[in-house]
């Protein structure tokens, strides 16, 4: 493994962390309907657990309503059970043709809870970034130990890796701050 490989691997890990954080933020219920809230829910159908988006079309006819229309009407009940079982705090209404989910407006307490969750997710992302940095530094030290790079190179690569970590942490902070503003906007 070369130093470039280590830096590329760390960069790929950082990108995965940022993408995961964005996905988690998108899943947070912020008082508006969003297909991401339900599309990944596991539904037990045909003896197999499948994501909801593979069993039905999901649409947003109004800002606070999600409509789920399964391709097979026999999937209505399993989809409803899957949504309730997901523990996302949404109550589906099955009318025999489609499932409607009304997104309630957020209370002040719920907004504060969501902000805490945003901060928790951001901290998890920072931890993942630190873990990737640690793995990179271990690889660099192993290379130095094997005389593949010099001690000066080790310091240079560690600094380059730390600069990338600082850049990613700044991006995590910006994403968290934007999401907090989005949540607290009434």
Q: What is the pLDDT of residues 80-131, one digit of tens each?
A: 999 888 877 778 999 989 999 988 888 888 888 889 989 999 999 999 999 9
Q: What is the CATH number of domain 3-27+107-184?
A: 1.10.132.20
Residue-wise pLDDT tens digits, 152-172:
988 999 999 999 999 999 999
- In the prediction, which pLDDT does 35 show? 85
Residue-wise pLDDT tens digits, 41-74:
888 988 889 898 888 999 999 888 999 999 988 8
Domain-by-domain residue ranges, the chain? 3-27+107-184, 36-102
Reported pTM: 0.75
Per-residue HEC secondary structure of the chain comes to CCHHHHHHHHHHHHHHHHHHHHHHHHHCCCCCCCCHHHHCCEEEECCEEEEHHHCEEEEEEECCEEEEEECCHHHHHHHHHHHHHCCCCCCEEECCCCEEEECCCCCHHHHHHHHHHHHHHHHHHHHHHHHHHHHHHHHHHHHHHCCCCCHHHHHHHHHHHHHHHHHHHHHHHHHHHHHHHHHHCC
- In the prediction, which pLDDT does 186 show? 63
Architecture of domain 36-102: 2-Layer Sandwich (3.30)
- In the prediction, which pLDDT does 33 show? 80
pLDDT at 135 over 70: yes
């Amino acid at each position: 493994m070369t130093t470039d490989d280590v830096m590329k691997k760390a960069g790929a890990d950082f990108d995965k962390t940022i993408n995961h954080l964005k996905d988690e933020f998108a899943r947070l219920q912020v008082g508006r309907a969003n297909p991401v809230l339900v599309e990944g829910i596991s539904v037990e159908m045909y003896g197999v657990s499948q994501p909801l988006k593979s069993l039905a079309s999901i649409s947003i006819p109004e800002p606070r309503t999600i409509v789920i229309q399964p391709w097979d009407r026999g999937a209505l009940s399993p989809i409803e059970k899957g949504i309730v079982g997901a523990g996302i705090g949404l109550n589906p209404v099955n009318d025999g043709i489609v499932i409607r989910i009304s997104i309630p407006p957020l209370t002040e307490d719920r907004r504060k809870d969501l902000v805490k969750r945003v901060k928790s997710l951001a901290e998890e992302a920072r931890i993942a970034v630190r873990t990737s940095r640690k793995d990179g530094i271990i690889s660099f030290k192993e290379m130095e130990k094997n005389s593949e790079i010099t001690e000066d190179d080790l310091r240079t690569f560690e600094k380059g890796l730390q600069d990338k970590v600082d850049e990613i942490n700044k991006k995590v902070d910006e994403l968290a701050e934007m999401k907090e503003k989005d949540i607290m906007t009434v």
